[in-house]
Amino acid sequence: MTRVFSSLLHHFTNILDVRCFIFILSAALVACGENDSTAHHEIPKYEATKPFREDVIIEKEYVCQIHGIRHIEIRALERGYLENTFVDEGQMIHKGQPMFKIMPNIYQAELLSAQAEAKQMEIEYQNTKGLAQENIVSQNELALAKARLDKANAVVKLAETHLNFTDIKAPFDGIMDHLLVRNGSLLDEGELLTKLSDISKLWVYFNVPESEYLEYKMHHNDETYKKVQLEMANGNLFNQEGVIETIEADFDNTHGNIEFRATFPNPEYILRHGQTGTIIMNIPHNNALLIPQKATFEVLDKMYVFVINSEDKIEQRLIKVETEIPNYFLVHEGLQDSDRVLIEGLRKVQPGEHVEIHLLTTEELRSNLQLRAE
């Protein structure tokens, strides 16, 4: 290099040549400096952490259907004209309260006829009884008279029943649905008049996947696990807590689900039969393996992390995530407690690359994620 500089200096004899020489010399020195810095390659350093274990509770949501504990059809028990309606749509009615009356004229006449027939059979029976006591007629004749009387009394009971069927009363406390007939309508036996819903309590049905059903059964003795909440259609939580009471017998093989039923009190009658909502169930995961969500990336719908191996080189690792909570994933498969997982520079590194890491403790990681969340 010295010989080169001397040769160049020999050719620059005037001031202008000297200035050019100084410029070229400076450029050469800068170039040499750049070559020296390029030759000195620094290993990148990134933050990493280890997976950690913790007991967590996951909120699971399920679309649900809401039913009153009793929802029945009110039908005409006899044929005839609807004479009167004592209730209105949407009305809260009470057990035994009159609802409808079917014109009773025919049934009243049938009852009077049956009562007259029974009275006649009663007279015949008493006469036969007196004759039997004097041994004028046999005991068989007395038994036949008694049988005819019993039959007549049975006809009276039947006529009374038919007449009572013309008065339709509420079988329990509930709320009326639509009126499907109007006064004066000719009703057939069994014709639908309205529906009645008992919504003092609610049965809420929702479908649970097989894996979550098994998780539930493993904790079915835990009473807190059976308690659920109901998110209403407007996004607000219902002000009563529900309890899972029953599970359907069979799985739906088409979807791999099984139906659960939770019971909710409904003292203010806020919810009605037929509404929909979302059941929120708390599912505990004991000793779950957690990693930060920021440590993961997706390739073709599969989840990966970068793991630093024993040689401090990057490895790409496929993982299976069971579920997520704020800032973290619950890892089902692919990682061990001792693995070192990269949490920054994921877009800068490549598998096989040598890196240096700053390994964060669980407390440092929590603090870091909390500050970012805020």
- Domain containing 282 — which CATH number? 2.40.30.170
How would residue 371 be classed by pLDDT, with cut points 50, 70 and 90?
low
Lowest-confidence range among 7-11, 150-154, 268-272?
7-11
64 and 207: one domain? yes
How would residue 58 be classed by pLDDT, with cut points 50, 70 and 90?
confident
**Of 286, 307, 335, which closes a domain?**
286
Q: Using the predicted structure, report yes or no on whether residue 20 has a pLDDT greater than 70.
A: no
**186 contacts: CB under 8 Å, gap ≥ 6:** 80, 81, 82
Structure tokens at 179: 């009126």
Q: Which residue has the higher pLDDT, 221 or 196?
A: 196
Range of the domain at 312: 45-54+287-373
214 and 273: one domain? yes
Q: Using the predicted structure, report yes or no on whether residue 39 has a pLDDT greater than 70.
A: no
Mean pLDDT, to the nearest integer, of 359-363?
Answer: 88
Which of these, 167, 185, 183, 190, lies nearest to 73 by C-alpha position?
190
Strand residue runs (E) in 210-353: 227-231, 242-247, 257-265, 276-292, 296-299, 302-308, 314-325, 328-333, 340-342
State the total domains in the chain: 4
pTM of structure:
0.67
Structure tokens at 57: 């509770």
208 and 63: one domain? yes
Cα–Cα dist 215/218, whole Å: 5
Cα–Cα dist 101/354, whole Å: 90
How would residue 368 be classed by pLDDT, with cut points 50, 70 and 90?
confident
pLDDT in tens, 203-215: 999 999 988 888 7
pLDDT of residue 13: 45
294 and 259: one domain? no
Mean pLDDT, to the nearest integer, of 25-35?
Answer: 50
Which of these, 147, 129, 146, lies nearest to 138 by C-alpha position?
129
**Of 286, 304, 333, which closes a domain?**
286
Q: Using the predicted structure, report yes or no on whether residue 107 has a pLDDT greater than 80.
A: yes
Q: What average pLDDT does the structure give for the chain? A: 85
**Of 266, 286, 306, which closes a domain?**
286
Three-state secondary structure call for residue 125: helix
270 and 324: one domain? no
pLDDT of residue 26: 54
Q: Please state, in angstroms and as integers, the Cα–Cα distance from residue 290 to each residue in 184, 285, 339, 346, following that order.
A: 71, 11, 12, 18
pLDDT in tens, 170-187: 999 999 999 999 999 999
Structure tokens at 104: 């009773």
190 and 84: one domain? yes
Cα–Cα dist 16/366, whole Å: 66
340 and 307: one domain? yes
79 and 189: one domain? yes
282 and 299: one domain? no
φ and ψ of 339, to 5 deg: -65, 145
pLDDT of residue 69: 95
pLDDT in tens, 63-83: 999 999 999 999 998 888 999
CB count in 10 Å sphere of residue 39? 7
320 and 277: one domain? no
Cα–Cα dist 342/329, whole Å: 15
Three-state secondary structure call for residue 175: strand
63 and 208: one domain? yes
334 and 349: one domain? yes
Structure tokens at 208: 């649970």
Domain CATH for 324: 2.40.420.20
Lowest-confidence range among 139-143, 217-221, 330-334?
217-221
Q: Please, are residues 148 and 124 in contact by the beta-carbon 8 Å criterion?
A: yes
Mean pLDDT, to the nearest integer, of 86-91?
Answer: 93
How would residue 15 be classed by pLDDT, with cut points 50, 70 and 90?
very low
pLDDT of residue 374: 46
Cα–Cα dist 331/320, whole Å: 6
DSSP class of 43: P
